[in-house]
A and B are shown apart, each in its own frame.
Chain A
C-alpha cells in the first residue's frame, strides 16, 4: 500500500511542478516557454512515432509527412489563405483523420514489405509530400508553395485567444503559457493512450509482430491489419501535433517538414528506448533541451575563445541527433533507460501467485 502511496504522491509532485513550470520559465524569459512548448510538441510526436517504431517495430522514416498534413490542414482551414477560420477543436480531428488516411494509403500497399524496404518507402513518401507542398501553388494555389502560409489563426476558446496575454484571477497568462497548458493536456492524452495500449490486446499483438512476425501470423493475428492500425494511429498523432505546430507558430512552410525532422523524432525514440514510454519521453525532453542549452552556451563560448562562431548551434544540434542514433545502436540498443524487460519480469510476480 505504501508503494502505491509513494507512487501517487510522486505523481502529484510531478503534476504540480509541471503546472508551475511556465511561471518559473517566464522569469527566465518568454523564449524558454516557447522552447518548452516545442519540446512538448516533440515529446508528443515521439510518442506517436513510438507506437509505430517502438510498439509495432515498423521503421517509419517519413513520419514528418503526417506532421505536415496536420499542419497544412490547420493552416488552410484557419488562415486568410482561403478565408476560412474554423475553430481548432474542429480542425485537429480533421487533421488527425486525414493524416491517418494518408497513413492507411501509404501502409496498405507497403506494409507487407521487409522492414528495411518499408523504411525507405516511407522516407520516399515523406519526400513526395514535401515536393507536393512545394509545388501545389500551381495551377490552383493550394499550399502557396515554398513561401508557405502566414497569419494562421491562434487557438481560440470562446473569447480567449491563445495569441495574446490574459488575466485570470489576478494571474497574467501569456499566449505561450496558455499553449503550454493546452499542450500538456494533449500530451497527457497521448501518454495515457500509449500506456493503455501497451498492456492491451492490440499492444500485445504489436509486440508479438515485432518479436516474430511469422509466429504472430500462425497464431491468428492478421498482421497486415494490426500493422496498419499502428501506422494510422501514429499518423493521426502526427496530424494533431502538426495542427498545434501551425497554431503556435502562426506560419508554416515546406522547410519545416524535411527529412531531418523525421530523423530527429526517430533519434528521440531511439535514445529513450524504442517501446519504452517513459524512456521516450525522457529522450525527447533531453534532445529538445540540450541543443537549446548548447545554443546559449556554445555560442558565447566560441565567441570568447575564437572571437567568431566556428560551429553553428544548428550544426551541433544535428550532429547530436546523428551521433545519438549511431552511438545508441552501438552501445545501448535498448535505449538509455532499458528497464522494461527486467522490470516486467519482477513487476507482475505478485499478481499471479
Chain B
C-alpha cells in the first residue's frame, strides 16, 4: 500500500471539509472582523440534527439518499436560523463595542450552545447510522472510498456555488462592498445589516452540510465535536488569509494535507531508531527492529495549532493575503 498517496487522498477529504467550515469563519471575519467562535458549534448542530432525522427515519425503509436529503432539508434551515440568531441577538448589539467584546461573547455563546446540545443529545458519543453503502476503489496502490469521492465532490460544488454568490450576484457585490468599507457601502445604498445577517446565514448553511459530512465520514457525533473542528477550520482560514474566500479553500485543503501527511509520517520521522547515527545511544531499545517513537500519530491535532502559530508569526496575512476592512 502506498502511504503517500493514501494520505493525500485522506488529506484531500479532510481538507475539503475544513475548507467548507473555514469559509464560514472567513466570510464573517472579512465583513465584521469577528472570530465567530461559535461557528464550530453550528457545524455540531448540523451533525446532530441530521443524525436525529436519519435515526428517526432509519426504520422507514426509505432509500439512504432520501433519508440524507431529509436530514439536510431539516438541518440547513435550522442551522441558518441559528446563525441568524447568533448574529442578531449576540453580535449585532456589540458592533460598536471594543474589539474583544464580541469575541468574548462568541466564546460564551459557544459554551452555551454546547451545553444546550448536551441537554438535547446527551453527553454520549453518538454513532451515525451507517446507511450509505461504502465501496472501496483501488487507485495506484491506495484505496478511495465512495464516501470520500462524494465528500470531495460535494465540497467542490458548494465552493463553486459560494464563489458564484460572492463574485457573481448582487448580494455578493454588496458583501464585498461591506467588507471593503461598511460606512461607504451604507452610503451607496447597501443594507449593511441585512448583508451581515446573510453572511452568517450562508456560512451556517455551509456548516450544516459540513456537519452532516463530518458525521457520516467519522460515523460519530458528539456535543464537543465543533470546538476542535472549528479551531482547525479557523486555522485554515488564517493560513489562506483571513477574509479571503479562495484563501479559505486553499488553506482548508492545505491544512487537511498537512494533517494527514503529518499523521502518516511523524511516527516514522521521530523514530529515533530510524537514525543510524543515533543508534549507539539506544542500542538496547532498537535491537531486533524495536523502535523509539517520540511523537506518534496521536499528535495529529497539534499540527493545526502549530500551523496557526507559525502562520501568524511569520506571515500573518496568510498565503493569499488577507482581505479585511480597515476599521479605525
Q: Which residues of A contact B (CB under 8 A)?
A: 57, 59, 61, 109-110, 113, 115-117, 119-121, 123-125, 127-128, 131-132, 134-135, 138-139, 259-260, 263, 266-267, 270, 311, 315, 318-319, 321-326, 329-330, 333
With A109-B313, A110-B313, A139-B294 as contacts: A322 and B104 at CB distance below 8 Å: no
Would A315 and B108 count as touching, CB distance under 8 A? no
Residue B143 CB within 8 A of the other chain: no
Query: In the complex, what distance in Å separates the CA atom of A205 from the CA atom of B313?
Result: 25
Is B292 in contact with chain A by the CB < 8 A criterion?
yes
B301 at the interface (CB under 8 A from A): yes
| B111 engages A110 (CB within 8 Å) | no
Q: A110-B309, A311-B119, A323-B108 are in contact. Are A120 and B100 (CB under 8 A)?
A: no
Whether B97 and A120, one on each chain, are in contact in the complex, defined by CB atoms closer than 8 angstroms, is: no
Contact A61:B231 (CB < 8 A) given known A135-B296, A322-B115: no
Contact between A116 and B100, CB atoms less than 8 A apart:
yes
Once bound together, how far apart are the Cα atoms of A259 and B305, in whole Å?
14
Known: A113-B312, A138-B296, A139-B294. A325 touches B111 (CB 8 A): yes
A109-B313, A110-B309, A124-B309 known; A325-B118 Cβ under 8 A:
no
A311 partner residues in chain B, CB cutoff 8 A: 119
Which 10 residue pairs of A and B lie closest in terms of their CB atoms, listed nearest first? A325-B108, A322-B111, A124-B305, A322-B112, A326-B108, A109-B313, A322-B108, A329-B105, A329-B101, A319-B115
Q: Report yes or no: A115 in contact with B101, Cβ–Cβ below 8 A.
A: no
The answer to whether A330 and B105 have CB atoms under 8 Å apart is yes
Q: Which residues of B lie under 8 Å from residue A315 when comparing CB positions? A: 115, 118-119
With both chains docked as a complex, state the minimum distance between the C-beta of A46 and any C-beta of chain B, in angstroms.
15
Any chain A CB within 8 A of the CB of B81?
Answer: no
Is the beta-carbon distance between B312 and A121 smaller than 8 angstroms? Answer: yes
| A-B pair number, CB within 8 angstroms | 121
B35 touching A61, Cβ below 8 Å = no
- Whether the pair A322, B308 counts as a contact (CB closer than 8 A) is no
Residues in B lying within 8 Å of A, measured CB to CB: 33-35, 90, 93-94, 97-105, 107-112, 114-115, 118-119, 227-228, 231, 234-235, 238, 285, 292-296, 298-299, 301-302, 304-306, 308-309, 312-313, 316
Which A residues touch B99, using CB under 8 A?
115-116
Distance, CA A194 to CA B285, complexed state (A): 51
Q: Which residue of A lies closest to B301 (CB)?
A: A131
For A319, what are the chain B residues with a Cβ–Cβ distance below 8 Å?
111-112, 115
List chain A residues, Cβ under 8 A from B227.
Answer: 259
Q: Is the CB of A266 within 8 A of B231?
A: no
Whether A123 contacts B231 by the Cβ 8 Å rule is yes
Given contacts A109-B309, A139-B294, A322-B112, contact A128 B107 (CB under 8 A): no
Kindly state the separation between the CA atoms of A127 and B295 in the bound complex, as whole angstroms: 16
Per the bound structure, the CA–CA distance linking A107 and B119 in Å amounts to 38
Residues on B with beta carbons closer than 8 Å to the beta carbon of A119: 35, 100, 103
Say whether, besides A123-B231, A311-B119, A322-B109, A333 and B97 are in contact (CB < 8 Å): yes
Output the nearest chain A residue to B310 by Cβ-Cβ distance: A109
A113 and B316 contacting across the interface, CB-CB below 8 Å: yes
A59 to B97 alpha-carbon distance, docked (Å): 15
Q: A120-B234, A322-B115, A326-B105 are in contact. List 19 more A-B contacts (CB 8 A).
A: A59-B100, A59-B103, A109-B309, A119-B103, A123-B231, A124-B231, A124-B304, A124-B305, A125-B305, A127-B228, A139-B285, A263-B107, A266-B107, A270-B104, A322-B111, A324-B108, A329-B94, A329-B97, A330-B90
Is A325 a contact of B299 with CB atoms below 8 Å?
no
A120, B313: Cβ atoms closer than 8 Å? no
A110-B313, A124-B235 in contact; A329/B35 too (CB < 8 A)? no
A115 to B316, CA, bound (A): 13
Shortest distance in angstroms between B117's beta carbon and chain A's nearest beta carbon? 10
**B305 & A318 in contact (Cβ 8 Å cutoff):** no
Instruction: Report chain B residues within 8 Å CB of A322.
Output: 108-112, 115
A125 to B292, CA, bound (A): 26
Q: Which of B104, B231, B294 contacts A329 (CB 8 A)?
A: B104
Residue of B nearest to A126 (CB): B305
Cα-based distance from A131 to B299 in the complex (angstroms): 7
B299 A135 Cβ-Cβ under 8 A: yes
Interface centre among B104, B231, B235, B312, by most chain A C-beta atoms within 10 angstroms, is B104
